[in-house]
Amino acid sequence: MAKTTQQHSAAQTVTPALRQWIIDQAEAGFAPDVVLKSMQASGWSEDVAIEAMETTLSAHLAATQARKHLPAAVAVPEPALADSPLLLDAGDRMVQVLSVMRHPRLVVFGNLLSEQECAELVELARPRLSRSLTVATQTGGEEVHVDRTSDGMFFTRGESPLVQRIEARIARLLHWPEQNGEGLQVLNYQPGAQYKPHYDYFDPAEPGTPTILKRGGQRVATLIMYLSAPSSGGATIFPDVQLEVAPQRGNAVFFSYDRPHPRTQTLHGGAPVLAGEKWIATKWLREHEFK
């Protein structure tokens, strides 16, 4: 008899439908012993029923707890992509839509900047370059970090007619107020320079984050514009979704993150430049007016 019971148990498969039924019974308020008796009455062996209940309810509890601690979603910049357009009107320029992902929310744009605009940004930025800094999440300030080996500088918002024109174009393209953008940052990557994978939002668990958020709330989106392409290397990489975006001059990659959490799948980095040099301009967008 024992052998027959073991064979019967081995033949019973716990399906997704059964797991959902167990969750439904638990959420309806039925006690575990009641659910167990119901399963046995339906032909499930006791050992299989107990294991199915324990594993299903443990996993369901863990998922419920994770959702409770998940930051609330907020509004994010959103290009007008509902009709799958090939081109978007950015006011003074028609911008190509080259590639779109839904999760993460990611768009590769073509022809966002002209060759002349790219060259002008590089020349204006060149004499003002210094070692790039990262946000110091422990204090809310800035610091040199070994993961970031580029040189960079910031234009203040609206600093020049060129910067004003590009910022207005971005605001129209992404449907987000100009005043909610940080100053345009220009970065230069020489051979060997890189930026290891990271998130652009500010980690709520870090002690310096409340200070950072006073200037405009969380970052909710990033736009990386390519000003010059290296001969080799330098792609923008998204490890979570195994995507590489080539640094083609004049193009850009946009991605948004509706909450400061890894589930946005916006982990990204700048792969090492192998030959030549790479120039990019980055625009970070905040929830509120950036001051």
The fraction of the chain above a pLDDT of 70, given in percent, is 88
- What six digits make up the tokens of 271? 């792969």
Asked which of 38, 68, 98 is the last residue of a domain, the reply is 68
Look at 279 and 33; give whichever has higher pLDDT: 279
Residue 243 and residue 117 in one domain? yes
pLDDT at 7 over 60: no
Confidence of residue 137 (pLDDT cuts 50, 70, 90): low
pTM of the predicted model as reported, rounded to 2 decimal places = 0.74
Residue 132 and residue 184 in one domain? yes
Question: Does 75 reside within a domain?
Answer: no
Question: Does 77 reside within a domain?
Answer: no
pLDDT at 265 over 50: yes
In angstroms, rounded to a whole number, what is the distance separating the alpha carbons of residues 148 and 100? 27
Nearest-5° Cα angle at 171, 87 to 237:
70
Question: Does 194 reside within a domain?
Answer: yes
pLDDT in tens, 85-102: 999 999 999 999 999 999
Decide if 187 contacts 132 (C-beta within 8 A): yes
In angstroms, rounded to a whole number, what is the distance separating the alpha carbons of residues 193 and 10? 56
- Domain harbouring 231, CATH code: 2.60.120.620
- What six digits make up the tokens of 131? 């070692």
Asked which of 35, 68, 101 is the last residue of a domain, the reply is 68
Q: How many domains does the chain have?
A: 2
pLDDT at 2 over 90: no
In angstroms, rounded to a whole number, what is the distance separating the alpha carbons of residues 169 and 9? 65
Residue 157 and residue 265 in one domain? yes
Domain range for residue 36? 2-68
Residue 176 and residue 261 in one domain? yes
Question: Does 143 reside within a domain?
Answer: yes
Residue 29 and residue 128 in one domain? no
Residue 8 and residue 98 in one domain? no
Residue 158 and residue 101 in one domain? yes
